[in-house]
Structure 1
Amino acid sequence: MTHVLLLGGTSGASQLAQALHQAQIPAIFSYAGATQAPMAQPLPTRCGGFGGAAGLAQFIRSQGITHLVDATHPFAAQMSRNACAACEATGTPLLALERAPWQAQAGDHWVDVPDMAAAAQALPEAPARVFLAIGRKQLDAFANHGQHHYLLRLVDAPAPGSLPLADSTVVLGRGPFSAAHDQALLQAHGITWLVAKNAGGEATRGKLLAARALGLPVVMVQRPPLPPRPRTEDVGAVLQWIAHGSLPAEAGVAPSSP
């Protein structure tokens, strides 16, 4: 009997959860647990880690998982590596539901960097007002660049004194956000630089369109390398893969552009 494990946390994962529910395909939705109040899903849901690749392999065996779909954030590299290792160990078919990375377009001013430490180094020496559109996990990379004022947009309010930044402003919100909304945000806070992860997709595109409209430079952090694995951007292709064991001929990943 088919039993899908969906590793979620993205808008695509939520769309797939709805599709699995509507198709009456038995599935478990798994959140990493990084968000205090994750979105409710129409599937049985668990939160938290598995205990590495070995723990995930044990979960796959104990729950009778027949298919694993990795729809985690493109920067959740360790979870994706664990999924690859666990599926190889258990012989479980694996498919990534993955957004294609953005590509710079005319009018963009991007500085491509390989990681967050390089992103911090790419900012100017002179004080700047920086929108860190990177979540909260890697803020330490900017702790030694205290000449800047940092704007953070977070889903959950940080505990007092928990941020490693000397000069920062936090706004709370859960996307997606429109380009007009983000342009107004950047203007209201006098932002002169933006730092973003190349997550791809529509839900977080607004800030890049806003930066383009305002002529702001963007430090773009590229995705971490992952083991080779089959991928698609299409929820319908995932359902076909579950039903038939293969992707449609046209399914695949092509670069997207903001």
Structure 2
Amino acid sequence: MKVLLLGGTAEARQVAAWSAGEPGVEVVSSLAGRTADARLPEGEVRSGGFGGVDGLVGWLAEHQVNAVVDATHPFASTMTSHAAEAARAAGVPLLVLRRAGWREQVGDRWLWVDSAEEAALALAAVGSRAFLTIGRQGLSRFADAGLWMIARCVDPPNPIPSWCELILDRGPYDLHAELDLLRHHQIDVLVTKDSGGSMTSAKLEAARELGIPVVVIRRPALPSGVAAVETVDQVVDWLRDCRGRQG
């Protein structure tokens, strides 16, 4: 059984690692190619886009793909939408893997918004020194927010923003380092996407400990009718079931 794994996340790398030792399953991991020095999964890897929905439909047919797993970032809504359309058009089963989102705990002061634009508009009423942890895409939406800001990204934005300080770093992050960062820069509001997972959750613990409010951008909705799970084990079960049904 040949599987196209749309990846780039830790969960996608776990699925690829499982497939390396699973008889009868061949996985091709596809990375968007936007991150320099990306962590590569085990097995075959392709990088770059497909050329939209039509290009993906053609790729699935050309490579005789039997199943698609979308394990991209929870905010990679365009890729997920394209995957749903292409899998439907090609008659190939699709499963979306989305890790569980973060949940508020006692002591949290979260403000939920639907977009980076809403987050930028909300900042002035929440604090005066903001820590942006939304990645480089959408960062420009905060250029006119009127606050002192520092932004953390894996790769530098293009162009480099002149309106904020920049930290280039990659998770996982630990609580003590996040506490030191917030204190050192006198941060009084944190901005994040609801990415979920443990690699970057320490900032939320630090904000909770220091009583700092957090502006949280909600995830985009999944396409209608798409099957979705939250764990790698559920993906493994689904792939084994697909292989069994193919005989």
TM-score over 0.5 for the pair:
yes
Letter of the 1:243 counterpart: R
Aligned residue for 1:151?
150
TM-score (norm 1): 0.88
Letter of the 2:16 counterpart: A
Per-residue displacement from partner, 1:28-48 (whole Å, max 9, x unpaired)?
A: 111111102111221111111
CA contact (8 A) 2:102 2:196 kept: yes
Q: In the comparison of the two structures, how many residue pairs are matched?
A: 241
Q: Residue 206 of structure 1: CA displacement?
A: 0.9
Q: Unpaired runs of 5+ in structure 2?
A: none
Aligned residue for 1:135?
135
1:15 and 2:11 aligned: no
Distance (whole Å) between structure 1 residues aligned to residue 166 and residue 240 of structure 2: 45
CA contact (8 A) 1:139 1:165 kept: no
1:204 to 200, 204, 207: 200
TM-score (norm 2): 0.92
Aligned residue for 2:235?
238
Q: Residue 105 of structure 1: CA displacement?
A: 1.5
Q: Residue 133 of structure 1: CA displacement?
A: 0.4
SS in structure 2 of the partner of residue 45 of structure 1? strand
SS in structure 2 of the partner of residue 194 of structure 1? strand
Cα RMSD for the two superposed structures: 1.7
Per-residue displacement from partner, 1:5-64 (whole Å, max 9, x unpaired)?
A: 110111111111111112252111111111021112211111111111111111111111
1:215 and 2:211 aligned: yes
Q: Residue 180 of structure 1: CA displacement?
A: 2.1
Q: Residue 179 of structure 1: CA displacement?
A: 2.0
CA contact (8 A) 2:13 2:40 kept: no
Q: Residue 245 of structure 1: CA displacement?
A: 3.1
Letter of the 2:170 counterpart: R
Q: Kindly, what percent of the aligned residue pairs are identical?
A: 40
Letter of the 1:90 counterpart: A
Distance (whole Å) between structure 2 residues aligned to residue 165 and residue 133 of structure 1: 17
Per-residue displacement from partner, 1:152-209 (whole Å, max 9, x unpaired)?
A: 22222446xx13451x222222111122221122112211111100111122211111
SS in structure 2 of the partner of residue 88 of structure 1? helix
Pairwise mapping of residues 100-179 of structure 1 onto structure 2 (< 5 A)?
100-124=100-124, 128-145=128-145, 147-158=146-157, 162-166=159-163, 168-179=164-175
Q: Unpaired runs of 5+ in structure 1?
A: 247-258
Q: Residue 234 of structure 1: CA displacement?
A: 2.0
SS in structure 1 of the partner of residue 207 of structure 2? helix
